[in-house]
Chains A and B, each alone.
Chain A
Amino acid sequence: KNQVEQSPQSLIILEGKNCTLQCNYTVSPFSNLRWYKQDTGRGPVSLTIMTFSENTKSNGRYTATLDADTKQSSLHITASQLSDSASYICVVSEGGGGSQGNLIFGKGTKLSVKP
């Protein structure tokens, strides 16, 4: 069964600290892996998209890595800010032709950044 598992479920860190969120998947075939940030009461916002051949991608203070061999990804947040408090969702696309295919979502990691 195609699955995306994220860890930890929740995380509390102090402002200014770094953190790393994990994502393991068993989705096949694989097209791409996406990380989203979702603030409470809002729709998700895309942070990064990585294909099979990419193993790292950055978006400001967010850096995602992908190991397609072990089917693992991580999202590293540098110098955290209070506004980083949100749920971070890992999504894997089953792919298929030129379309996004069926998207499999992880349950997310809820990050709280404290002053």
Chain B
Amino acid sequence: KAGVTQTPRYLIKTRGQQVTLSCSPISGHRSVSWYQQTPGQGLQFLFEYFSETQRNKGNFPGRFSGRQFSNSRSEMNVSTLELGDSALYLCASSFGGYNQPQHFGDGTRLSIL
């Protein structure tokens, strides 16, 4: 069974640009969550999508947005990039229940110059 796939693995952007990251969940999983991981803040929850609807949201500015398609694949977009957005962005999928384990991809490493 294929795991969670995130593309690209590495990305370099400059301040002010925007970026789109992609996540393909495990087959059958309907929930996709996104996280930001930095050395200083650790892992922080961005948002969760379930059946194409945003179901939960963390405390990030509106520059961070996402969407989910009918096949459960998800994209995350960050606009007007700032230096502080440099981080590892992780995506996780699950069947969607509150008690379900999440399966993480290996992330996209985003560097802002």
Q: Is B79 an interface residue (CB 8 A)?
A: no
Count class of interface residues, chain A: 20 to 34
Binds A, one of B14-22, B37-45, B67-75: B37-45
Cα distance, A108 to B92, chains bound together (Å): 18
Picked from B44, B92, B94, B98, the residue with its CB within 8 Å of the CB of A43 is: B92
Cα distance, A32 to B35, chains bound together (Å): 18
Cα distance, A5 to B37, chains bound together (Å): 17
Picked from B4, B44, B90, B96, the residue with its CB within 8 Å of the CB of A99 is: B96
Residues of B within 8 A of A42 (CB): 106
Q: Are B106 and A102 in contact (CB under 8 A)?
A: no
Q: Is A16 an interface residue (CB 8 A)?
A: no
State whether A99 and B56 are in contact (beta carbons under 8 Å apart), knowing that A43-B4, A43-B92, A105-B42 are contacts in the complex. Answer: yes
Picked from B99, B101, B104, the residue with its CB within 8 Å of the CB of A51 is: B99
Number of B residues whose C-beta is below 8 Å from A? 29
State whether A103 and B96 are in contact (beta carbons under 8 Å apart), knowing that A41-B106, A43-B104 are contacts in the complex. Answer: no
Query: Apart from A46-B103, A97-B98, A100-B33, what are 14 other A-B pairs with CB-CB below 8 Å?
Result: A34-B101, A43-B4, A44-B104, A49-B99, A89-B42, A89-B43, A99-B48, A99-B55, A99-B56, A99-B98, A100-B48, A100-B56, A102-B56, A104-B45
- B interface residues (Cβ-Cβ under 8 A, vs A): 4, 31, 33, 35, 42-45, 48, 50, 55-58, 90, 92, 94, 96-107
- A interface residues (Cβ-Cβ under 8 A, vs B): 31-32, 34, 41-46, 49, 51, 89, 91, 93, 95-108
